[in-house]
A and B are shown apart, each in its own frame.
Chain A
């Protein structure tokens, strides 16, 4: 895959042609997002293939997290179109009706910086909640699913614990299990280690790495852990001021970035 240096206001659709038979998992077309006078996403276009793993890196305020939030419908774009597997999540700067959005949103899962577990439910109940309430899965099936997912994230014994009784790393692993319970085809990881103590970051990243090996989900990862960004991704995107500055193969981009701003950023975080 080539390196695309994006001219001001330009976009990259032509760099990522996928066969017509295979719609991209995610497609942003000329998307902008403003909060008042602040333009957080600036006329950005982006395609993510099925099963592709993409890391988003860049300084704070560069719009990485906003991309995930737009995709999760936690924000509406001010302009542009966002599509998921060919279906429009928002178009022409407007959100669409809930009945149109819900089936698309069902394909997306998200893990948050602050975990956002439901504090009034046990770990097991957190994982069972959406399958039972949203998918109407029978409780015994949901329980079996939740138990297997907790086991998968290494928390088989913690099903009966409340989030307040778990460490940050454990809470985040429950949050991953909770998102997996909805069987998403696209997973969004929003700075999932930023709120964690250094000694538990590894256990969370290990879970994500194993997911990357064992599943075919597309993954969109926003992180400040540069080693993780490099190792998890098929493609790394460096953003600044709401635009894609440079993107490409992780080994290449981290070793010898083409853009001077990418270089400056990587030098700054290395220190």
Chain B
């Protein structure tokens, strides 16, 4: 117990960095996901081909290799960012690729009749999406978003390998310094669970609100 009191400030700092990474990369990934997911609906090859390549490259290669590549290879050609920025950017691009697929497929799942009704009311295309299609697609996206938020929380441990002292890395340092791997890793385990709770609660709330207000009103697939 004394030992835990001794190490908990270091673990708390690590937990704080983990949370910061998750929220920053998560917000950025959401922005990337929406931008790419919507842009891929534009019926032009000049837009869709590069974006498809981006999505497939980031979905189909190891996240760890992506992090190493951005951190160790890009500086060789003169592109250098701080470790934290690099970590956030790679996580955002990686998860953005997955989220863009969620956004795209959810939008495509909205009934074609909704587009027809919007056209028949003479709505310009952007208005059609903003007022009619996207509001119906979002409840479809929410469960997947919740899943990826939890995935993101766990994936932040990968950036420990590029010197960011987040929760996993601070734990590893403590083990190197003091030993006691059982106690330390068990603590880390519990802290991750505690960090996940807000995401679980938030997700459940969002789904309930979306599902409650719109249940049966939004065709889900």
- A residues neighboring B (CB under 8 Å): 72-74, 98, 102, 105-106, 108-110, 112, 114, 116-120, 129-130, 133-134, 162-164, 175, 178-179, 182
Known: A114-B113, A133-B131, A164-B216. A74 touches B121 (CB 8 A): no
Contact yes or no, A133 B217, CB < 8 A: no
Contacts of A179 in B (CB 8 A): 120-121
Interchain CA distance A105-B124 in the complex, whole Å: 11
Interface 1/0s, chain B 124-150, versus A by CB < 8 A? 110100011001100000000000000
Contacts of A74 in B (CB 8 A): 116, 119-120
Contact yes or no, B119 A129, CB < 8 A: no
Known: A119-B136, A119-B218. A105 touches B131 (CB 8 A): no
What would be 6 A-B contacts, judged by CB atoms less than 8 Å apart?
A: A106-B122, A112-B116, A116-B111, A119-B136, A134-B127, A178-B121
Contact yes or no, A116 B119, CB < 8 A: no
Interchain CA distance A77-B92 in the complex, whole Å: 44
Known: A119-B219, A120-B218, A133-B127. A102 touches B122 (CB 8 A): yes
Contact yes or no, A162 B217, CB < 8 A: yes
Contact yes or no, A130 B122, CB < 8 A: yes
> How many residue pairs, one in A and one in B, have C-beta atoms under 8 Å apart?
67
Contact yes or no, B123 A134, CB < 8 A: yes
Contacts of B217 in A (CB 8 A): 119-120, 162-164
Contacts of A106 in B (CB 8 A): 122
> What is the distance, in angstroms, from B56's C-beta to the closest C-beta of chain A?
30
Q: Which of A102, A130, A182 has the most CB of B within 10 A?
A: A130
- B residues neighboring A (CB under 8 Å): 111, 113-114, 116-117, 119-125, 127, 131-132, 135-136, 214, 216-219
Interchain CA distance A73-B123 in the complex, whole Å: 12
Q: Which of A98, A129, A163 has the most CB of B within 10 A?
A: A129
Contacts of A130 in B (CB 8 A): 121-123
Interchain residue pairs A-B with the least CB separation, the first 4: A119-B217, A130-B121, A116-B117, A116-B113
Interchain CA distance A112-B214 in the complex, whole Å: 22
Interchain CA distance A182-B120 in the complex, whole Å: 10
Known: A162-B217, A163-B217, A164-B216. A116 touches B122 (CB 8 A): no
Contacts of A162 in B (CB 8 A): 217
Contact yes or no, A120 B135, CB < 8 A: yes
Contacts of A112 in B (CB 8 A): 113, 116-117, 120
Contact of A119 among B121, B127, B131, B214 (CB under 8 A): B214
> What is the distance, in angstroms, from A219's C-beta to the closest C-beta of chain B?
15
Known: A119-B217, A119-B219. A109 touches B120 (CB 8 A): yes
Contact yes or no, B113 A129, CB < 8 A: no
Q: Which of A114, A120, A130, A134 has the most CB of B within 10 A?
A: A120
Contacts of B123 in A (CB 8 A): 130, 133-134
Contacts of B120 in A (CB 8 A): 72, 74, 108-110, 112, 179
Interchain CA distance A27-B220 in the complex, whole Å: 40
Contact yes or no, B121 A116, CB < 8 A: no
Contact yes or no, B121 A72, CB < 8 A: no
> What is the distance, in angstroms, from A59's C-beta to the closest C-beta of chain B?
23
Contact yes or no, B122 A134, CB < 8 A: yes
Contacts of A105 in B (CB 8 A): 119, 122
> What is the distance, in angstroms, from B220's C-beta to the closest C-beta of chain A?
11
Contact yes or no, A116 B131, CB < 8 A: no
Contact yes or no, B113 A73, CB < 8 A: no
Contact yes or no, A98 B124, CB < 8 A: yes
Interchain CA distance A106-B216 in the complex, whole Å: 31
Contacts of B125 in A (CB 8 A): 98
